[in-house]
Structure 1
Amino acid sequence: MSSAHPRSRTAVIYPDCDGKPIAENTLQFEWIVTIKGNLDLLFRDRPDVFIAGDLLWYPVEGSPKICTAPDAMVAFGRPKGHRPSYKQWEEGGVAPQVVFEVLSHRNRPPEMRAKLAFYERHGVQEYLIYDPQTDGLRGYQRINDELVEIPDMRDWTSPLLGIRFDCSESPMRILYPDGSPFLTLDEIAAQRDAFARERDAAERKRIAAERELNAAEQERNAAERKCIAAERELNAAERKRNTAEHERNTAIQERDQIARELESEREQAARMAAKLREMGIDI
């Protein structure tokens, strides 16, 4: 009697790394970091936009060999968060809508044609390629089932991202929807340092102004105290003047009273003398 054993399934492994470097040179790496970092800033308030750099994307479940790692990718409708890789069937079937590739001297036309075919086949809506060595920019947009090259990338605005590519200068500039440029980490640090210096200068001005205000307040208080003291002195002088005026008036009244009394006495003496004379008495 024989027994049948069920065939065990082998778990499919989806590697988190393809063994390739993120970048071949510092210039390429700086552009990758700048694009990915500024996209993070652009959509920092959107919890439903996932952005990654050099993350392996597996579009087909059960086929780990079908994968690629865009230098930067944007998936609308997917939550932010860390992932070891982007497995499309675990992301509600949502393919990254926008991908960026930053070229190095090692990229060859066959490789780039294969990437274009991959992105076209698996649902990318916008595919942007930048070569920092030559300052060359190419772009593709999905029309029906094809990624069609955009004929003129000068001053082109991404319908999905809202960012604009200004090719009037070299190197090319990527601009936010408000017109401000994507900045490198060094430029962001320099801007932060400039803001810090301006903030410190403003704080020093505030402290100096506060000191001046306090000094002015002290001077005002001192002047007010002097004014109060002067007013008191004036009131005291006024009281002295009133007292002196009163004393003068009293002295005048007393003098007039004495004068009246003397006049009355003289009149009485004259009347007395007149009577005596009438009586024949000489005095």
Structure 2
Amino acid sequence: MVSQIESSAPSEIFYPESDDQPMANNTEHFEMIVLVKGNLDILFADDPNVFIAGDLFWYPIQGNNKIKYAPDVMVALSRPKGRRSSYKQWEEGNQPPHVVFEIISPANTIAEMDRKLLFYERHGVEEYYIYDSANNQLRVWLRGEYGLDWVDFGQTWVSPRLQITFDVSGEHWQLFYPDGQPFVTFGELMAQAQAAQQQAQAAQQQAQAAQQRLQQAVPRLLSMGLNREQVGDALGLSVEEVEAIALNL
């Protein structure tokens, strides 16, 4: 009798979602990551095919869970929005993230940043931004014919892919939407929303007060002997509006 030995199927490769390291090393580092990621979410809120993530593992090679990095912020154009436990490139039409941001923290070393640059260059990133708040330095790389090329841009730079503007002319960087509006923090956004709500409420109250004044003026003018056309001319109302107010008295 010939015995057959069944070969065991290769075990499924596990792609970790976390390295158990904190997303940020201090409050400033965290706030800058949230500033970039949150405002990019707003910028592309109406485009279902722009995927934006923060501190998400990117695995560029199927079958290899060792080659990975988690950019502070990454943007993949032409990829649908939605939850992901990690960005597995072979499940994304083999599309690498187009734009990557790294915010320097005290924990970052020169060797680590060199490895990240090599990784992003090797695996297809088109725009790579590193910001160091300690000296307000923004470094920019764009993909050229032979890889990522460092760009000497002065104090302002416009992202070719995102059309946002970076400005390092002041004490800290500023980022601007394509229409020139500045990136804002969550607190600033809430303050703007509250101010807009208060303005809307004030406008509504003013409109109600104006309507009350009209309702009071119409009967007074009619009682003085003016006809509806004359009342309308005096108050800037049509005859129909005067009649409607008079009927509701």
Structure-2-length-normalised TM-score: 0.87
Query: Pairwise mapping of residues 196-211 of structure 1 onto structure 2 (< 5 A)?
Result: 196-211=197-212
Structure 1 pair 153/114, CA: closer, same or farther in 2 (3 Å)? Answer: farther
SS in structure 2 of the partner of residue 224 of structure 1: coil
Cα distance in 1, alignment partners of residues 185 and 194 from structure 2:
14
Give CA deviations for 1:196-243 in whole Å, capped at 9, x if unaligned: 1211211121111111111112312322389xxxxxxxxxxxxxxxxx
Q: What letter matches 2:69 in structure 1? A: T
**Contact 1:154–1:167 under 8 Å retained in 2:** yes
Counterpart in 2 of 1:256?
A: none
Cα distance in 2, alignment partners of residues 157 and 119 from structure 1:
20
SS in structure 1 of the partner of residue 225 of structure 2: helix
Give CA deviations for 1:112-141 in whole Å, capped at 9, x if unaligned: 000000000000000001122322211111
Counterpart in 2 of 1:190?
A: 191
Pairwise CA distance, 1:7:
2.4
Structure 1 pair 158/225, CA: closer, same or farther in 2 (3 Å)? Answer: closer
Q: What letter matches 1:170 in structure 2? A: E
Query: Pairwise mapping of residues 12-161 of structure 1 onto structure 2 (< 5 A)?
Result: 12-161=13-162
**Contact 1:166–1:174 under 8 Å retained in 2:** yes
Cα distance in 1, alignment partners of residues 225 and 19 from structure 2:
81
Pairwise CA distance, 1:80:
0.8
What is the RMSD of the two structures over their aligned residues, measured on CA atoms? Answer: 1.6
% of aligned pairs identical? 46
Pairwise CA distance, 1:192:
1.0
Cα distance in 2, alignment partners of residues 14 and 158 from structure 1:
32
Structure-1-length-normalised TM-score: 0.77
Q: What letter matches 1:9 in structure 2? A: P
Runs of 4+ with >4 A deviation:
none
SS in structure 2 of the partner of residue 181 of structure 1: coil
The structure with the larger Rg is 1
SS in structure 2 of the partner of residue 34 of structure 1: helix
Give CA deviations for 1:248-271 in whole Å, capped at 9, x if unaligned: xxxxxxxxxxxxxxxxxxxxxxxx
Pairwise CA distance, 1:45:
1.5
Pairwise CA distance, 1:23:
0.5
Q: Give aligned pairs, total.
A: 227
Cα distance in 2, alignment partners of residues 205 and 135 from structure 1:
47
- Unaligned 5+ runs, structure 1: 227-283
Counterpart in 2 of 1:168?
A: 169
Pairwise CA distance, 1:170:
2.2
- Unaligned 5+ runs, structure 2: 228-249
Structure 1 pair 93/153, CA: closer, same or farther in 2 (3 Å)? Answer: farther
